[in-house]
Structure 1
Amino acid sequence: MSLLSVQGLSKSFGGVQAVQGVSFQLAAGELLALIGPNGAGKSTTFNLLDGQLAPDGGRVLLDGRDITGLAPRRIWRLGVGRTFQIAQTFASFTVLQNVQLALLSHDKKTWGWWRAADRHRARDALALLAQVGMEPQAQRPCSELAYGDVKRVELAMALAHAPRLLLMDEPTAGMAPAERLALMRLVQRLARERRMGVLFTEHSMDVVFGQADRVAVLVRGQLLAEGTPQQIRGDARVQAAYLGAESSENDSCQRLPEKRESPISPLLAVEGLNAWYGAAHILHGVSLTVGRGEVVALMGRNGAGKSSTLKSIAGLMPRAEGSIRFQGRRIDGLQPHRIARAGLGYVPEDRRIFTGLTVLENLEVGRQGPRRWQDGRPAPHWTPEQLFTLFPNLGEMPRRLGGRMSGGEQQMLSVARTLMGQPLLVLLDEPSEGVAPLIVEQMARTILALKAQGMGILLSEQNLALAEAVADRAYVLEQGRIVHSASMAELAQDARARQAYLGL
């Protein structure tokens, strides 16, 4: 008997059929990857399996027991664990406290958690953190962690319940290639040892083809194909609908148009930037420049300080010191809204769209007036109609609520909303995270189109192929310090630097 049996599962939202008659099986100890384009219905399927949504039709069986439509807490008690596309942790609690809370819940002692959390099974919590490589950061608040590390904490919290079935929604988002492979090898080992079934969604094809036992492909809510990784890699239908011309994210951007090189006077100049989370000194003397019409990649391992650098420039760090000049004007010390009004846009790693507003309403929230460059010439002016041309997926759903969009669609909306602020320079934090290979190609073309219009872009990115396709120069961060700078072409060809600084 299969551990999980999904039979004819269906769900609609108004006139949108998100999941249509989906059926598949999952055995104990098996890893099944559920992949597909953004908006294919993967997260909706997960929400139907763990009770977040009630299906319109079909059944979900766990070890032969019908769990269709049960409340999430009852399904969880039956042994179904879950990690989310956007990690769900208590940001103000320490890493250790988050796992201790999960253990309290597992032990049914939640009614007294405020008295016992700091003492409850600390040794067991530390052992779980050691499994996911987070024990050294046990005493840090989750708010100070890099996003990839937050995902590790969330996995430890899920494992605290000793699940029979683990649902993992984009578990390696925000991690470098070596880190995500190590994490999924750990999951694969735990699945074998515990006889735990694992269903996961993932856009990193090296993870899917390297770690999954089987792969199921969803397209527009329907199961397009199912088979071994080798069978799916060679399926022409899957390549056309999802993988693109290449079947690996490492190659998905190689045939993009040649970028236009243009060394120009700095639009953004950062000198001696230091930043802190509480007493923790995160950035140490970071200096960099971005020219008009130039794309600069900010690279480094998970936790190196890339997102903290972008947040510091945007005025979002609790404490930062140093000189930040934008169009020759000092902006360090200004409030974030004043920095945005000056023409500096910021696309955060976690998207932060308004889930209760439609696509059009989200765009209107970001609207600002036309701008001019320092020489008086008008800068590009974005309208919703122009953005729908740039992002055709959004043009097909102008009245859809943000909360009803896939992760990749939300990522596109976050970029589009930022462009409605008519920025002269954009800080892009991991734009390829959580999006399908075909959308990564589209995102790369979008970045090149913005560059061609003269916009400056500072890009934080783990995907070397995307960075190589769009960036002119690169800075590499390690432990909050810039340890290497070169042209992007030089870094891509320097095997020793890639291995030493990026683990590639």
Structure 2
Amino acid sequence: MRHMSAARPPEGARTAAEGAPASLLTVTGLGKSFGAVKAVDGIGFTLAAGELLALIGPNGAGKSTTFNMINGQLSADTGSIMLDGQPLRGRRPRQIFRLGVGRTFQIAETFASLTVLENVQMALLAHEQRLFSFWRKAADHRRDAALALLDQVGLQPQADRPCHALAYGDIKRVELAMALAHDPRLLLMDEPTAGMAPKERNALMALTRQLVRGRSMAVLFTEHSMDVVFAHADRMIVLARGRLIAEGKPLALREHPEVQRVYFGTGKTFERQAASEPGTSGIPGAGAAASAGAPGEVLLQATGLHAWYGAAQILYDLDLYVRRGEVVALMGRNGAGKSTTLKALMGLLARRSGQIRFMGQDLSRSAPQAAARLGLGYVPEDRRVFTDLTVLENLEVGRQPERRWPDGTAAPAWTPERLFALFPNLGAMPHRPGGRISGGEQQMLTVARTLMGNPLLLLLDEPSEGVAPVIVEQMARMILELKAQGVSILLSEQNMHFAELVSDRAYVLEKGQIRYQASMAELAANEEVRLSCLGV
């Protein structure tokens, strides 16, 4: 196993005077189609040892398809993939793994019930093809080597803790240590910082850079957090609709006109007044509703809310409320209880206690469908679309009658045409099955399907997670325009900038309890709370 060494420079660290480093990975003319759709269309690039290369692009650009072809999970239609002169195309994932290609995933893949040390020992056993050896205890296998790997990722002091007890950022470090156990020459990292706070994101990528340099590995990673890309990538390549549209140094591509148009968006901060501009996204009557302005009566209120997953209590005595026409953010680190709060309010947990009232009705013991019929909409984080139904059919599943506010005025009404104006990606593929669109497009479809129910209050779980900056802009505009019509939104979010942009108030959760509540402006100005509870 290779270890970090300060004595010799890594292969990828040679200067231009010494000549460009030899390519470890060479991709040429790579293509993949799904029916008539060209997911990847003749792309090519190189990657040298000791280099971090970012693969970015809008949702549906072909990033995951490219990853899956390199890793062998998909077979390419055209082109070649060469790892240090050896062809990868046509090989199975296990064969590619044996050649030195490792992978981490957007959702960390660890054994939650095993300790940190045992997870790494399992990875070492898999690397040595000894998972089914009966001659010695697995707990004794390569303990020193596993501890050395944990030391490299800064987790040796937590070696004996079970993975389920770790913070999410530490779980990502465990997954990195497991990937390093296979001694990869090439590491594919799929959105490695997804779900992490900014401080955790940069710490993980700084560690990755250190390991890449010390081990002379190469890393190809996808990422939507541009602060990570600009701070840590040596180069980046940009895909759009399956084609490579730009390649170069990250800071140089920041001003690239086509990259700005398809991926970064305007980069401008929306002003709250933007919600009063009619017709900006196809939402009917945006900015014209009499309810725009100061929030009105309380629509949703929870008092003494407790919630459990099985025997494990997650929420403790939460009190919160949302007024008509108000956007409220639930903030907190990963695992703080934000998503659980939304599920408890919607009635999706088998065990909860306390009182929940919506539109004057007691929902404390109601099923989710009762809440939905009253106008409470829920957008989950995990993109639950019907994969066999088309985009249009998914939207029709969510259709509910038009609604009115208690004073008799019409509430916002949605149609597929108006939703396609808001999400042009979906408008370009109305007849494509939900299982054949990208993860980010599935997230858009989940939001759109919920809006087809004409909700009066929307529970939004991490809407900015895992989508391109240009789509984040669309999400922000959607929220501001819904607010202008009097629709309320309770938003679970880790992106401080996004939450500050759209929210009126905030609740900060830590370990299932509300630790702080104030206006969004007050939270943004409170550095102590941001650092201690949010890591920003």
Would you say same fold, with TM above 0.5?
yes
One-letter code aligned to 2:183: A
1:216, 1:455 → 2: CA distance?
40
**Equivalent in 8, 25, 30 of residue 4 of structure 1:** 25
What is aligned with 1:329?
361
Deviation at residue 370 of structure 1 after TM alignment: 3.5
What is aligned with 1:249?
none
Deviation at residue 335 of structure 1 after TM alignment: 3.0
What is aligned with 2:62?
41
Within the alignment, does 1:446 sit opposite 2:478 as a pair?
yes
Within the alignment, does 1:220 sit opposite 2:252 as a pair?
no
Root mean square deviation of aligned Cα:
2.9
Q: 5 Å matches for 1:300-339?
A: 300-339=332-371
1:137, 1:279 → 2: CA distance?
26
Distance 1:132 1:261, change over 3 A: farther
What is aligned with 1:365?
397
User: SS in structure 1 opposite 2:446?
Assistant: helix
**Equivalent in 432, 436, 459 of residue 464 of structure 2:** 432
Distance 1:93 1:329, change over 3 A: farther
2:77, 2:530 → 1: CA distance?
49
Within the alignment, does 1:181 sit opposite 2:197 as a pair?
no
Within the alignment, does 1:15 sit opposite 2:36 as a pair?
yes
1:306-340 CA-partner distances (Å, limit 9, x unpaired): 12211222223353222211112221233334333
Deviation at residue 89 of structure 1 after TM alignment: 5.4
Distance 1:263 1:151, change over 3 A: same
**Equivalent in 266, 269, 273 of residue 253 of structure 1:** 269
Q: Answer yes or no: is the 8 Å Cα contact 1:81–1:163 preserved in 2.
A: yes
2:319, 2:419 → 1: CA distance?
33
Q: 5 Å matches for 1:162-177?
A: 162-177=183-198
Distance 1:313 1:44, change over 3 A: same
User: SS in structure 2 opposite 1:3?
Assistant: strand
Distance 1:117 1:442, change over 3 A: farther
What is aligned with 1:30?
51
Q: Answer yes or no: is the 8 Å Cα contact 1:53–1:69 preserved in 2.
A: no
One-letter code aligned to 1:13: F
Q: Answer yes or no: is the 8 Å Cα contact 1:294–1:457 preserved in 2.
A: yes
1:140-161 CA-partner distances (Å, limit 9, x unpaired): 575x988766655544443332
One-letter code aligned to 1:198: V
2:83, 2:56 → 1: CA distance?
22
**Equivalent in 415, 419, 422 of residue 447 of structure 2:** 415
Identical counterparts, % of pairs: 64
1:304, 1:126 → 2: CA distance?
29
Deviation at residue 85 of structure 1 after TM alignment: 3.8
1:95, 1:313 → 2: CA distance?
34
User: SS in structure 2 opposite 1:190?
Assistant: helix
Deviation at residue 431 of structure 1 after TM alignment: 0.4
One-letter code aligned to 1:284: Y
Q: Answer yes or no: is the 8 Å Cα contact 2:59–2:467 preserved in 1.
A: yes
Deviates more, 1:230-239 or 1:183-192: 230-239
Q: Answer yes or no: is the 8 Å Cα contact 2:163–2:171 preserved in 1.
A: no
Deviation at residue 412 of structure 1 after TM alignment: 0.5
Rg (Cα) greater in structure: 2
**Equivalent in 423, 426, 434 of residue 394 of structure 1:** 426
Deviation at residue 60 of structure 1 after TM alignment: 0.3
Q: Answer yes or no: is the 8 Å Cα contact 2:147–2:159 preserved in 1.
A: no
Q: Answer yes or no: is the 8 Å Cα contact 1:35–1:218 preserved in 2.
A: yes
One-letter code aligned to 2:202: L
Within the alignment, does 1:475 sit opposite 2:507 as a pair?
yes
What is aligned with 2:317?
285
Within the alignment, does 1:59 sit opposite 2:75 as a pair?
no
1:12, 1:71 → 2: CA distance?
19
1:432, 1:276 → 2: CA distance?
26
What is aligned with 1:382?
414
Gaps of 5+ in 1: 247-251
User: SS in structure 2 opposite 1:324?
Assistant: strand
Deviation at residue 387 of structure 1 after TM alignment: 1.6
Deviation at residue 165 of structure 1 after TM alignment: 1.0
Distance 1:256 1:409, change over 3 A: farther
2:339, 2:115 → 1: CA distance?
20
One-letter code aligned to 2:181: A
Within the alignment, does 1:209 sit opposite 2:230 as a pair?
yes
2:490, 2:111 → 1: CA distance?
30
Q: Answer yes or no: is the 8 Å Cα contact 2:186–2:219 preserved in 1.
A: yes
